[in-house]
Amino acid sequence: MSSRKSLLVGANFSLILVLTAAFGQQAHADVLLDAPSGGASYYGMYCDTCIAASFTLTASYDVSTIDIVLRTPTTTSSPTFDFSLQNSLTNPSTTFASTALTAPQGGIGTKVSMNVNKTLLAGTYYLVGNVRGYSAATVTAGDVNGWLLSTGVYNNAAGTITAGVWGTSGFTWSLIQRAAPAFTLNGSPTQFLTKNSASFAAGPPVAPGMIAFGEAAGVAPALLVASTNPWPDTLGGVHLEITDFQGVKRSAPVYFADTGSIGFLIPVGTALGPATTVLTTSTGATISGSLYIGRISPGLYTANASGSGVAAGYWIRIASDGSRTQDYLFDPVSAVGNRVPVPVDLGAVNDQVFLSLYGTGFSGSSGASATVGGVPVPVYGFAPVGVYQGEDVVNIGPLPRSLAGRGEVLVVLSFDNQPANVVTVNFR
């Protein structure tokens, strides 16, 4: 099916809502402690009194090692510490590295290194320590410059560690305190990583004329948004150059730049095939990357900028007399990340209801297919929006009345047999 003129005219989304909501601050290793109490165990470790610190990466990092600074009591039955790097403190969790590290008894400021040698994508990670054998060890306040790995005990606590006992309240230890452990994440940002700005998929190709976003550390000191249309080639000193398969260099128009990300347009005319990128940050530093240019790269925006969940779009109802009403598929008043679907009412028996969904990377397709709640639905048309560079819209319908009362269902769209990310719509 060739694309036809969109049903929806003049009602478009502000891309800043769907492109920047998922990005935070530059990658860091600030520590947030959580000490188990009452016998709680962290999943993936062996003991009932493990301790953990979390750190958040907002860009992908190639992590080589994690250096952990320890102070160990002079009395211990085991100088070995079991460490685990994982993405959750509960089941299920993924363990990225684990090791047994040894530190001398009575050591102050002892640094031990945990080998990771993995690429960690943006997200929150937990460094979990399993401590054994410190019953009756003496702890002196004020002389601890790191993470005191004594069962249930944190630095700057004074006293004697008493043996743990199981009781009605669980497995308990004395001197449980919360303080910042010392550890250092050793690594560097990965190459400049390009994704579909709607689906957040990093694997598929990107397409000429679509909106993409890239991740890297230190792109800009704060969020910058282009105030002109068309978007500028340089925004706050941030510039992106793409060299295509034929060796032609083009500047990518920049919509926004943030501390760890950039939203940009793949220049029209970029040759299909492998391409390279050079990102110049606001400080003048350069970060290289690579991507693959395909003919299309279908992605659908979602109301919570997550790549899944309720679609960013409208429902459109056409009554038998030709009158038309439309509204959001979600509650637009709520902040991005907290938006919930608004149920679609299919109206009277003779009403026709369509969905108008926003995305990028599919306007160059020659055909499309759709299902809603597993039911095939006609694709009325798809086209560039025109108001925003790179933004596309697809309209599907009329929707079958069998969807009434179904609640939240999946919307599956494919363009030239290439699937877009799956989104949802709710039906009253």
Q: Is the pLDDT of residue 373 over 90?
A: yes
pLDDT tens for residues 71-107? 565 655 566 777 788 887 776 788 888 888 777 766 6
pLDDT at 270: 98
Do the strands 238-243 and 273-280 form a parallel or antiparallel pair, or are they unpaired?
antiparallel
Contacts of 247 (CB under 8 A, 6+ apart): none
Checking if the pLDDT of 345 tops 50, the result is yes
Distance in angstroms (rounded) separating the CA atoms of residues 327 and 330: 9
Residue 402: phi, psi to the nearest 5? -65, -15
Q: Which residues pair with 61 in a beta bridge?
A: 120, 189
How high is the pLDDT of residue 287? Answer: 87
In this structure, are residues 110 and 104 in contact, taking their beta carbons and an 8 Å threshold? yes
pLDDT at residue number 121:
72
> Does residue 188 have a pLDDT over 70?
no
pLDDT for 136 = 45
**Residues paired with residue 317 on neighbouring β-strands, in sequence order:** 325, 353
Task: Characterize the bridge pairing of strands 147-148 and 61-71.
Answer: parallel
Dihedral of the alpha carbons of 403, 409, 315, 330, in degrees to the nearest 10: 140
Question: Do the Cβ atoms of 20 and 262 come closer than 8 Å?
Answer: no
Nearest CA to 367 out of 300, 424, 302, 413 is that of: 413
Segment of 55-59, 106-110, 292-296 carrying the highest mean pLDDT: 292-296
Candidate from 78-87, 128-137, 296-305, 307-316 with smallest mean pLDDT? 128-137
Instruction: Give the chain's domains with CATH numbers.
Output: 17-22+190-293 (2.60.40), 32-180 (2.60.120), 299-427 (no CATH)
User: 301 and 253 in contact (C-beta within 8 Å)?
Assistant: no
Distance set, CA 307 to CA 72, 183, 217, 302, 411 (Å): 46, 33, 22, 6, 13
DSSP conformation class of 15: H
